[in-house]
Structures are given as C-alpha cells and as structure tokens.
Structure 1
Amino acid sequence: MKQKTIYLIRHGETDYNRQGIVQGSGVDSDLNAMGQAQALAFYQAYQHIPFEKVYTSKLRRTMQSVQFFLDAGIPHESYAGLNEISWGAREGKMPNSFDNEYYRTLIENWSAGHTDYPTEQGESPNQVMERQRPVIEHILAQTDENPILICMHGRAIRILLSWLMNHTLATMDMYEHSNLCLYKLNYSYDTQEFTIELSNDSTHLLALVMHQ
C-alpha cells in the first residue's frame, strides 16, 4: 500500500504572537528568540527523519522555522497558497474590546457553517481552502517524495485539516495548534484518505518549557 507521511508544523513564535497582535498574510514577521529556540528544538528532535522535501508558505516565519533543515541541504518549495488567512483590515493591530466582538461574530458565523463569510477586507475560509487545494494536489502528485515536512500557519492549518479529513470548514476549531506544534499525517494513495497520527504535538518543546 503506497502512502505519504506528512509532518505538518506551525511556525515558531514571533513577537506578534507573544503580544497577541494579528498577523495574517499581510504581516511578514520574523521569529523571535523563543521561535528560533523552538525551531532548533524541532530540528534536534526530527533531524533523523529523511525528509525528501520541505514546503512552506511565502512568509518568512515559516521559512525561518525550517531553516535548519534547509541548511542541511533538503530541497525546498514555497507557495503563497500555504499562507495564513488574510485578516484584512485588522492585521498588525492589537485587538481591543470592539475587535473582540468582531472576532466573536466572525467565529460564530464560521462555526454555523457560513465559511464563505470573509474577514473585513480579507479572506473567507472557503477562499483559503481554494488556494490550498492546488498546492496539496501538487504535493500529493510527487509520489516519490516521502516523507515530507510542511510549515504553515495556525488558522490555515485548521482550514487545511478540516477539508483533508473530509469535514466541513465549520469544524475547523476542533484542530488546536500552538507555536511549532506537529501534526503527523499519513495519506494512502489506495484509498485517497488521510489519517492523523499525531495532533498538536509539542513533546519536542518540553525542554524549552522547563527552562522558562
């Protein structure tokens, strides 16, 4: 049975993450010191995996999160289709009490199945899914690449996992994520189905937590 194993990680911490500022696809921030330490900890834990290819979004924080693998000579491709959702008008801003109400309404709409409801001047989950699809189809078409590493973003991962697992996007908040967490997926070419082996796993970061 031919299959592909995908290690899917979220990028490491940025100062925007730490401050609770919305990034989305319009803010191209760098990892902070903790994010760099998370990237190193993940590399040290998984450098023994013979990754055939590393895929990232076009945003610096995903590339910096896998830089140790790239420095080791693993081929790399980046796609805007893997970028974070565009949060539009609220990117780069610290949420205030008015924004809290805005986000509550947004999440309530999405959870109710209105996943074509866009962020203000930004994207809807449906639009994110539609730009993810051709990238994932391209990745799956590379049948000789196994295993692979993909580095993406929090909301984008929630959207991706929902449709990969044949769930509606309304269920996306069931997929939790933290900075530099790991989802390990297996794709069967026979059944054309994904299974999740590890979810939001951060055991590779335990040493960092103990040192904080």
Structure 2
Amino acid sequence: MAIILLVRHGENEYTQKGKLAGWTPGVHLNDTGKAQSAALAERLAPAPIKAIYSSPLARALETAAPLAGLKALPIHKVEGVGEVRYGEWTGRSLKSLARTRLWTVVQRRPSAMEFPGGETFRAVQARAVEAVDHIATAHPKDMVAVFSHGDVIKLILAFYLGTPLDLFQRIAIGTCSTSVIHLSRGTPMVLKMNETATDKNSLWAK
C-alpha cells in the first residue's frame, strides 16, 4: 500500500491578497509561508517518507525544500500536480472574479467550467489523479509526500472520496495543510484532510 501525503504550498503574496497565481512564474513564499514550511518539515521529520514529489512551480518547491533537506531526499518535479491553468483569470483577485457570470459556474457547476484561455476542472482532475496513481505505483509500499496546490488537492481528494466534481468546492484546503490518502489495489481511503495539527504523530497515524 502507498501512503500519499498531499501538501499544499505555504502562503505567498497571491494567497495573502486573494489573487489567482496560476502558473505565474516567480511566485515565492512570503515570510509566513517560509515559517509554515519550516514548521511542516519539523512535523513530518519523524515520518517514514521515502520520496518527495512536487509541482514545478516555485511556491510548491520552496515549501518542499525544508523537508527535503531534513530527509536528504531529492525533489522530483511532476507537472501533473501543477496548479490549474486559469488562463485569462490568472493574476485577478477573487473579489473581482466573484462579480463575473462565470463565477457561479465555478462554484455551482465546476464540471462545466473552462477557464477562458485555460483548463477545465475535469482535465485538471484527470491529470492530477493520473500523476498520483503513477507515484503510488512507483512506491507501492512507501509513504510519499506530494506538494501541490489548493484546487488541485481538492480535485484529487474529491476523486478518491467518490465525490461528484460539482461538489468538490465543499472541500477546504488551507496553506501548508496536509491531507493523507491510502492507495492500494483495493478501495482507496482518505485518512486525513486539511490537517494542520502540531501533533507530529497525527499526520500519519491511522
């Protein structure tokens, strides 16, 4: 069985200001995000993590770096768990987007949403789940950390929970939170969601 720790990146200027970063290059962790990633590494240090994977975006890689340093493990970049490509919405504030017609689609019928010049939620879910499945296949008996993004992690969790895509927005994933899934040949299990506890054992204890 593979145990996958899904970790959202830490805080940055875009999350702090409520803006969509998407694939904008050079979005780095702010001071809070750096502190979050250091605390996360300390919490996960005792866990028997055998490999670390990450979105290729800077904010995810920077969140993974402290743990990778403690574990002396390389960070493997995986585009499949990269952020949603928001197209023309990239860089815009959520407050301004909430006034658009498409916002209702994003919140109430995300299965029908295609971001102007960007991806659909359905396509993002498919590529992200495929990436996680490949990672689990490569590590059938290991615990692995995967650093990704809020919407992407929500889409992954919705898939393994069997939650319809139109309901995935009901899942909340905070910055530097950890969610845990157990993947084997049998039924997948979601063991933890949006975990930010300081108890070092709580993140991987069954």
TM interval, short-chain normalised: 0.7 to 0.9
In 2, the alpha carbon distance for the partners of 1:165 and 1:181 equals 18
**1:203 alignment partner, SS class:** coil
Using the alignment, how far apart are the partners of 2:94 and 2:171 within structure 1? 23
- Measured after TM superposition, the shift of residue 100 of structure 1 is 1.2
Tell me how far 1:44 sits from its aligned partner.
0.9
Q: Distance in 2 between matches of 1:123 and 1:92?
A: 15
Matches of 1:199 and 1:138 in 2, distance apart? Answer: 21
CA separation in 2, counterparts of 1:6 and 1:185?
5
Helix, strand or coil: the match of 1:200? strand
1:197 aligns with 2:191: yes
The superposition leaves residues 128-178 of structure 1 with CA deviations (integer Å, 9 ceiling, x where unpaired) of: 022223312311211355111011100111111111222221121122111
How many matched pairs? Answer: 196
Name the TM-score, length of structure 1 as normaliser: 0.85
| Aligned-residue offset at 1:182 | 1.1
Q: Return the alpha-carbon distance in structure 2 between the equivalents of residues 145 and 64 of structure 1.
A: 27
Cα contact 2:2–2:141 (8 A) shared by 1? yes
Aligned partner letter, 2:41: Y
- Correspondent of 1:127 among 123, 137, 148: 123
Equivalent residue of 1:184, what SS? Answer: strand
Alignment partners' CA distance in 2, 1:142 and 1:18: 35
Secondary structure at 1:183's aligned position in 2?
Answer: strand
Q: Percent identity?
A: 20
Q: Which residue pairs with 1:84 in the alignment? A: 83
- Residue 81 (structure 2) pairs with residue 74 (structure 1): no
* Residues 57 and 79 in structure 1, CA contact (< 8 A), matched pair in contact too: yes
The one of 18, 24, 29 equivalent to 1:26 is: 24
SS of residue matched to 2:20 = coil
**Is the alpha carbon distance of 1:174 and 1:106 closer, same or farther for their aligned partners in structure 2, counting shifts above 3 Å?**
closer
Asked if 2 retains the 8 angstrom alpha-carbon contact of 1:52 and 1:75, the reply is: no
- Give the corresponding residue for 2:203: none
Output the CA distance in 2 between the equivalents of 1:149 and 1:28.
23
Over 3 Å counting, the alpha-carbon distance change for 1:145 and 1:15 in structure 2 is farther
User: What SS class does the counterpart of residue 32 from structure 2 fall into?
Assistant: helix
Q: Give, as a single letter, the amino acid of the residue that structure 2 aligns with 1:139.
A: I
Structure 2 counterpart of 1:208: none
Task: Please state whether the residue corresponding to 2:41 is helix, strand or coil.
Answer: helix
Preserved contact between residue 51 and residue 74 of structure 1 (Cα < 8 Å): no
Normalising by structure 2, what TM-score?
Answer: 0.87
C-alpha distance 152-49 of structure 1, shift in aligned 2 (>3 A): same
Q: CA, structure 1 residues 173+137, in 2 after alignment: closer, same or farther (shift >3 Å)?
A: same
In structure 1, the residue matched to 2:149 is 153
Distance 1:125 1:25 in 2: 15
Q: 2:170 aligns with which of 171, 174, 180?
A: 174
Structure 1 residue 27 displacement after superposition: 4.7
**Cα 1:37–1:62, aligned 2, differ >3 Å: closer, same or farther?**
same
CA shift at 1:62, angstroms? 0.7
30-39 vs 174-183, greater mean Cα deviation: 174-183
